[in-house]
Structure 1
Amino acid sequence: MKNFKQIIEQNTEELKTGNMQSYLDVLDDSICQYERSYEPLAESAYLRNYVRSCFRNDLAQKNGHNSFGRKQFSKYIARWFRKVGSN
């Protein structure tokens, strides 16, 4: 999973802020990169749904303001790692 975290960091380096869809696209691309280079990512469908759910919850709290940051996205990924027991 360390490699997946590195891929996420590289893919979000240029994207400091963006909307929900841009971060979901980065996530999909990162999963594809990881699976091409290493192995199938266990629970990747759960990861996609979990991150999408986090974005939607935060979007509701922001009264529909669709702007997110790299740190926020990384926090969602870190929470997912803890949920599935990966390091």
Structure 2
Amino acid sequence: MDDLLLQYRACGAECRDDYLRQVAHDNGLPLAWVRRIADRLGEREDFGALVLICETRQLQGAAECQTWESVGNSETPSDTRREKIFAT
């Protein structure tokens, strides 16, 4: 966790929550949406997959964030975490 805290601080955030707010703001996305994605990915992906997903959503338009709700709640066993995240 110390390594992650140092990374958050290197980005100008005091903690993970501050960092998630920054990512949401920088990409014009709802904070609640960014938190849900971050929680599903885990802290180790805060500087990798989370940023990639948020940047992709920013380009597609924040209005499409609602798509995540239906995909993220899918109960099909064939759905993997990555499929859910990148499904549009």
Greater RCO (Cα-Cα under 8 Å, separation 6 or more):
1
Structure with greater strand percent:
1
The bucket for the TM-score relative to the shorter chain is: 0.3 to 0.5
TM-score normalized with structure 2 length: 0.33
